[in-house]
Structure 1
Amino acid sequence: MAEHQQRPGFMPEKGPSTSQVLAVITLFPVGGILLVLSGLTLAGTLIGLTVATPLFVIFSPVLVPAALVLALAVTGFLTSGAFGITALSSLSWIVNYFRKGHVTEQMEHARRRVQEGAGQLGMKAKEAGHGIQGKAQETTRT
């Protein structure tokens, strides 16, 4: 078996390339520095929390209502904005609907139906009037 052939499942026999070595040499210290900074940040956070906890306990009667008021104010502003955007988009949709002429077709259809309904109502009123007039004439005869 020749030494320069690769066996399946094994790494090639040649070493890493120069760019791979440079990448490891460059990134290893950067990763170490970032890891140290991460540890320092965690330690600073824990120290700050340790110092601030008694202050939170002492001032909690003031801080809790203040946080609640702040949360409600932010919620109110966001809700107001959402309602405003909804209203503007609805008005925009209505204006575009009118501009495209969909309403004129529907208005004509509605007008015809109202006229038909008014005609039918007039006929019924006329029939009712004739019925009342007939009854009135009968009562005057008797």
Structure 2
Amino acid sequence: MADFHYQQPLLGYRDDPHQQTLCTQVVKAATAVTAGGSLLVLAALILTATVIALTIVTPLFVIFSPVLVPAVITVALLSLGFLVSGGFGVAAITVLAWIYRYVTGKHSVRHKLLNKALEIKDYGHQQISGGLQTS
């Protein structure tokens, strides 16, 4: 049997994997601080841009609100109409496919199992009643 020797990772792990060197801890901390600081600065920039954009756009919203409110309601109703019609279309196709399978005799597995169970039941009754008549 071959004797396998595992290589230790390069960043300062010793015999105990939970024991890390100071260098590894410093590298991890520096990476975390850099990533966290970058994300924090990015979040602050986005927040500032959002506040500035909202300040600029608010008067436009007030001026155009008689147009925007009906436009938003219209777009919402159109979207809802397309969504509902699509749902009904999918339901109709599903029902038609089920009817087609039912008419052509390609029932689901449940119907096949139910029919087979009824056949076995009838066969059992025939065997029992046939056995009683011959004796």
> Aligning the two structures, in what range does the TM-score lie when normalised by the shorter sequence?
0.5 to 0.7
Corresponding residue for residue 95 of structure 1: 100
Q: Percent identity?
A: 49
Deviation at 1:19, TM superposition (A): 3.3
Partners of 1:99 and 1:91 lie apart in 2 by: 12
Task: Find out whether 1:23 has 2:48 as its counterpart.
Answer: no
Aligned to 1:57: 62
Give the Cα–Cα distance (whole angstroms) in 2 for the partners of residues 42 and 101 of structure 1. 60
Structure 1 partner of 2:85:
80
Quote how far apart the aligned CAs of 1:24 are: 1.6
The aligned counterpart of 1:36 is: 41
Q: How many residues align?
A: 89
Please, what TM-score do these two structures have when normalized by structure 2? 0.59
1:13-72, CA deviations, whole angstroms, 9 ceiling, x for partnerless residues? x77554333222122111101101101101110111111111100000000111111111
Structure 1: runs of 5 or more not aligned:
1-13, 103-142
- Residue 118 of structure 2 corresponds to none
Instruction: Indicate the SS of the match to 1:54.
Output: helix
* Structure possessing the higher radius of gyration over alpha carbons: 1
- TM, length-normalised to structure 1: 0.57
Q: Which has the higher contact order (CA 8 A, sep 6+)?
A: 2
Q: What letter is aligned with 1:25?
A: A
Taking a change above 3 Å as real, the CA distance of residues 32 and 101 of structure 1, as seen in their structure-2 partners, is closer
Q: Which aligned segments of 4 or more residues in structure 1 are displaced greater than 6 angstroms?
A: none
Residues 30/101 of structure 1: CA separation in 2 closer, same or farther (3 Å cut): closer
Unaligned runs of 5+ in 2: 1-18, 108-135
Q: Residue type of the partner of 2:102?
A: Y
2:32 is aligned with what amino acid?
A: L
